[in-house]
Structure 1
Amino acid sequence: MEIAVSAVTGELFSRFISFLLSKYSSHEISEDKQLERLQQLLLRICAVVEEADGRYITNSGMLMQLKGLADAMYRGHHVLDMLRCWTLTQENSIKEVQVGSPFPPLKRFRAIVDAAGKDKARYFEIHRTLEILETAVDHMPEFVVLLGGCQRMSRRPYDAYLYIDNFMFGRHTEKQRLLNFLLEYNPPSLPAVLPIVGGHAVGKKTLIAHACADERVQSQFSSILHLNEDDLLRIAHSDTLLSGKMLVVVEFVSDLNEKNWEELYTSLAQMNEGSKVITISRFRKSEKLGTVKPILLDIHSHEELTYLFKTLAFGSANPMDHPRLLQVAEEFAMQLQLRGSLISVNICADVLRWNLDVNFWISILNRCITVAEKNFSLYGKHVRSLFEQGHRLDITNFASSSAAPLHIIPFAGHSSALKDLQRVTLRELLLDPSVRPKGDFNLVSWESKLPPYTSFIHFVPNYSQDFPKDKPLSGRKRRGDPS
């Protein structure tokens, strides 16, 4: 009897194991097919989004659909990279990277590998992303037909997708909306006003420069005038005649002074028919200046930042040849989404692109995290908020040698008294701390390659002298901070 029971038990166990192996094998095949399907759908969506970027789209419904296609595209890229990273990690049996560094180990970096190994979560992510992409593709035929009737833009060299750091990334819908505003006909009346509102360094000026570089926009206006708050009263109280069909761009770097704006707008009324006004501000209060719906610019989504960061950081290298770096890049993107900005993405990518070594990347990532945590403990605010307020930051831990404190004061480079100081780029300082000058100097964190070619310059004081002790911020923003 015992022999029979043992035989039956063994047979049942054998069948159970065979069932599990069969199910696992079919799951693997299914997952491979799903990945192949994801790549096919992503290729189709990417082609349509790229084509749409080269057309003038005036249909508001098409613009909404373009936004959905772009969101699906970046999500698809993100999931595909994560799954490729997981596959390469499994093939190379990479469970954790040992880093010979004085910085603390990355807890989340290990968690990425562990989390990626959970079949259910991975399968659900693929399935959900496939649903989103398939829905987008199902609604694409009508969009493509209508797109064929949209006028094609004249391409410029820096628009090529091969040089993503030389053209404006993302903002597909916003670019079209701004072009529509500038090119559409307005009946004779006071100049139309479009407010563009967004936080620090989200690309407000770059968006405008992108639109102003368009050939049709340039032929639409006789001149393009850029003003700031200091110019408002001068123009309003002068007898200057703003003649011709003009585009006036007004930047508000502090809270809105409605009286000054009313005086300026009265002066702008003398411009010729068809003239238009764009306002730039970080303050939502400026929305009420508009005669049309404002363009609101928020920080890019995590999927967008991940796509941009990886493209910039790897440069011409194939990310698939660097599975460990893919994992670190994912963590970089997460940290930049939480604490950084578009400028931070470009700064970090510019440094990392010169050294595709996993230990170097993790070292830089740990420095970024340490600096962010230290400033939060000092001032009670994230680095992004401190930059927006023009508050000084402690970035001593960015340098491998912390013999001397390294503090920066954002935007001080705009002061004429500091223009003659020696300049050092942040990349130079990170790669070789010995380049730090003695005494005061200007630190160039990043220089944009796009019009208006903004340079982000910060004053670094000489800390051999006494300096006031750091105090937590009250939460009130300073007046006069750049947008």
Structure 2
Amino acid sequence: MEVLLSAVLGDLVSRSISFLVDKYYQQKMGMGVDLQCLRRLLLQIEATVLEAEGRHITNRAMLQQLQMLREGMYKGHYMVDTIKNGVLQHEMVNDEVGDHSFSFPKFRPTKRLCFSTRTFTMAFQGEDRKEVGKMLCSLQSIADDMKEFLVFLKGYPHINRQPYSQHLILEKCMFGRQAEIERITNFLLRESLGAESLGVLPIIGPARVGKSTLVEHICYDERVRSFFSSIVFCSGSDIGSKSFADLRDSGIVKHQSCVAHERSLIIIEFIDDGDVDEKNWIRLYSSRSCIPHGSKIIITSRSERFRNVGTTQPLELSLLPQEAHWYFFKVLAFGSTNPVEHPFLESAAMEMAAEYRCFVAANFVASLFRANFCTQFWRLFLRCHRNIVEKHVILFGEHPYTLLQKNHDIYLVENFRDPKFILVNGYKTCLRNDDPKVMLHEVHTGTSKAHGKFEVLVWRSRIPPYHEFVMSCEAQAQQHTIFKRKRAR
């Protein structure tokens, strides 16, 4: 009897262990399947988006569907890269404990192979796995709707352009603003109804978010140019006691042609709140009968005061969503190089993308990374960056980028390899000119030496209105920096 009982118990234990092992194995396989499905789905959606962006689509519903595809693609890529980055940081911590290195442990080909299986399997645990499942279902629903979209897409003509790499395309386009472009275009091309002869659209947003660039892009649209006989740019500080007719005649002419119906597009840029008060605006708007019926006004401003001056809902321009910004930054930083082949560099790029959300900083850092594509440089850049951010937070309580936006003095590192500090006491946006300037990346890399007071060019936009972003700087002796003095107190 004891022998029989022992055999039965042994069989039950064996079956239980086998069941648990099989269940664990199935869970692990399920995680891998989820990952592979998500990656394949993202490739399908990305291929569709790139194909659609190469076509001249005019149907509004298809443009809305294309925007949904973009947003889903950005969110999917961001989720995969975030999980991958989290796992990578965990491995880097383990490596640092073992070899006491700062960051970026030596990356071996054998480790790359196991990274795609073991480490990703570790990532899909608990809430992360649930979120991945939700994302997979959401993207699958979007992909199911692509079949009809692709059928209709074939009916639209191709846009003629050279087969550039994706990063070259993004450097010369309005990235992430397709929905805003479509809304402004619809406003401009909509015929005025009834007695209302002048439509006004306010565009409100923080500094350097892309308001002027967005409007300039609209002005180059052939549909807009063929609709208006003239497009004129004015500064809010020039209004004074002028009427709309005076502004049209005295402003900077962006476009002028002969069309069947004479009408004007006047763009007014208000930089300071004091450029115009409520009484002046009422007086200016009362002069609308002086310009042809069907004319339109676009106002760009940082101030909320202009929210209620429009004849339609204001367009609020904000920073790109984090997912879209990461996609943009990654493409620019890696260029034609596949980020999958450099997971540690991809992790560094993700950290920098999270630090700087504006287009100027993203373009500068990404181009600097792409021009110095090596682990040693990225590691050195991150070390200096973390150090300078930490010092600003300790001394001033805020990130240096936030301080710069508030016109507060900040400090930058002159040479990553032989650190000295530069005082930045001014930041401005100006129109492009061909005068030689010291480039910020030359200062950072030590190819240009800083002496006394000087200006550095942070970044030069490659799309109209071709703005240049310039910092006013002053070289500081290393032993006399504010950081040294503060620490000595």
**Residues 62-141 of structure 1: matches in 2 within 5 Å?**
65-82=65-82, 117-121=122-126, 122-139=128-145
3-state secondary structure, aligned to 2:203:
strand
Contact 1:198 1:298 in 2 (8 A): yes
Q: Which residue of 1 aligns with 2:269?
A: 251
Q: Which residue of 1 aligns with 2:470?
A: 457
Cα offset, 1:268, TM superposition: 4.9
Give the 3 Å change call, closer, same or farther, for CA 450–421 of structure 1 in structure 2. Answer: closer
Give me the identity figure in percent: 33
Q: Which residue of 2 aligns with 1:429?
A: 443
Q: 384-393 or 238-247, which moves further after superposition?
A: 238-247
Cα offset, 1:158, TM superposition: 9.9
Contact 1:194 1:293 in 2 (8 A): yes
Contact 1:159 1:166 in 2 (8 A): no
Distance between the aligned counterparts of 1:158 and 1:216, measured in 2?
Answer: 25
Q: Which residue of 1 aligns with 2:180?
A: 174
Q: Which residue of 2 aligns with 1:34?
A: 34
Q: 289-298 or 131-140, which moves further after superposition?
A: 131-140
3-state secondary structure, aligned to 2:37:
helix
Structure of greater Rg: 2
Cα offset, 1:225, TM superposition: 1.4
Contact 1:197 1:287 in 2 (8 A): yes
Distance between the aligned counterparts of 1:2 and 1:430, measured in 2?
Answer: 81
Deviations 1:405-451 (A, max 9, x none): 31113335759xxx99973111111222x512322111111111111
Matched positions, count: 449
Contact 1:198 1:282 in 2 (8 A): yes
Cα offset, 1:457, TM superposition: 0.3
Q: Which residue of 1 aligns with 2:108?
A: none
Residue identity matched to 1:232: I
Residue identity matched to 2:332: L
Contact 1:444 1:457 in 2 (8 A): yes
Cα offset, 1:356, TM superposition: 2.3
Distance between the aligned counterparts of 2:405 and 2:133, measured in 1?
Answer: 40
TM-score by length of 1: 0.78
Contact 1:413 1:459 in 2 (8 A): no
Q: Which residue of 1 aligns with 2:212?
A: 205
Q: Which residue of 1 aligns with 2:409?
A: 392
Cα offset, 1:177, TM superposition: 0.8
Q: Answer 1 or 2: higher relative contact order, Cα 8 Å, separation at least 6.
A: 1
Residue identity matched to 1:425: M
Deviations 1:426-481 (A, max 9, x none): 1111222x51232211111111111111111011135469x9989xxxxxxxxxxx
Deviations 1:15-37 (A, max 9, x none): 45543442343234323332343
Q: Which residue of 2 aligns with 1:281?
A: 301
3-state secondary structure, aligned to 1:353:
helix
Q: Which residue of 1 aligns with 2:191?
A: 185
Distance between the aligned counterparts of 2:330 and 2:30, measured in 1?
Answer: 28
TM-score by length of 2: 0.77
Residue identity matched to 2:237: D
Residue identity matched to 1:191: L
Give the 3 Å change call, closer, same or farther, for CA 463–35 of structure 1 in structure 2. Answer: closer
Cα offset, 1:280, TM superposition: 1.0
Contact 1:413 1:442 in 2 (8 A): no
Q: 176-185 or 228-237, which moves further after superposition?
A: 228-237
Distance between the aligned counterparts of 1:39 and 1:118, measured in 2?
Answer: 15
Distance between the aligned counterparts of 1:125 and 1:452, measured in 2?
Answer: 41
3-state secondary structure, aligned to 2:77:
helix
CA RMSD of aligned residues (A): 4.1
Give the 3 Å change call, closer, same or farther, for CA 24–331 of structure 1 in structure 2. Answer: farther
3-state secondary structure, aligned to 1:117:
helix
Residue identity matched to 2:122: G
3-state secondary structure, aligned to 1:450:
coil
Cα offset, 1:9, TM superposition: 7.3
Unmatched segments (≥5 aa) in structure 1 = 107-112, 471-483
Residue identity matched to 1:448: S
Contact 2:384 2:413 in 1 (8 A): no
Deviations 1:147-174 (A, max 9, x none): 788x769556699846221211112211
Q: Which residue of 2 aligns with 1:475?
A: none
3-state secondary structure, aligned to 2:171:
helix
Q: 4-13 or 41-50, which moves further after superposition?
A: 4-13
3-state secondary structure, aligned to 2:384:
helix
Give the 3 Å change call, closer, same or farther, for CA 295–228 of structure 1 in structure 2. Answer: same
Of 375, 378, 395 in structure 2, the residue corresponding to residue 378 of structure 1 is 395
Q: Does residue 313 of the first structure (1) align with residue 330 of the second (2)?
A: no
Distance between the aligned counterparts of 1:272 and 1:159, measured in 2?
Answer: 43
Give the 3 Å change call, closer, same or farther, for CA 293–409 of structure 1 in structure 2. Answer: same
Distance between the aligned counterparts of 1:214 and 1:407, measured in 2?
Answer: 41
Q: Does residue 410 of the first structure (1) align with residue 426 of the second (2)?
A: yes
